Amino acid sequence: MLIVKPASSSWPHRESEPQRVAILAAADRLLTGTPERSTGNLSVSQLAIEADVKYWVLAQKHTDLRDHFQRLAAQTRQAASVARDHNHDPFARLQREQRELKQHCARLEDLVRMAGPLELIHSL
């Protein structure tokens, strides 16, 4: 089975400092939905907990990794939102069905309007 590590695989540098390696590994776990220490929320504070580092380490020392994680978290949230809207959200499904039914009704009304004059012609 292929395990995707979105933060570490998309990071352009090879890290050797243990703290930075831990942050990337923690970001991978959060982004893939497999947290070990945190709630799994895609936030910098939960990334710090997951990486077992103080919040200030991410907020002030490793801002590049923080920014990288935040970009990936935003992409992950957006992808999840799109998938949920199109596949699983019952409200979105009902909205889509309502739109389709309105379009169908409009086409039927057009047909009825066009058929009215035809009935008049056939009755003559």
> Residues 22, 62: contact at Cβ < 8 Å?
no
Tokens of 65: 């990794």
pLDDT tier at 69, thresholds 50, 70, 90:
very high
> Residues 53, 19: contact at Cβ < 8 Å?
yes
pLDDT given for residue 93 in this prediction: 80
> Residues 48, 55: contact at Cβ < 8 Å?
yes
Tokens of 9: 């695989």
pTM: 0.62
The interaxial angle of helices 44-51 and 63-83, nearest 10 deg, is: 110
Residue 67: is its pLDDT beyond 70?
yes
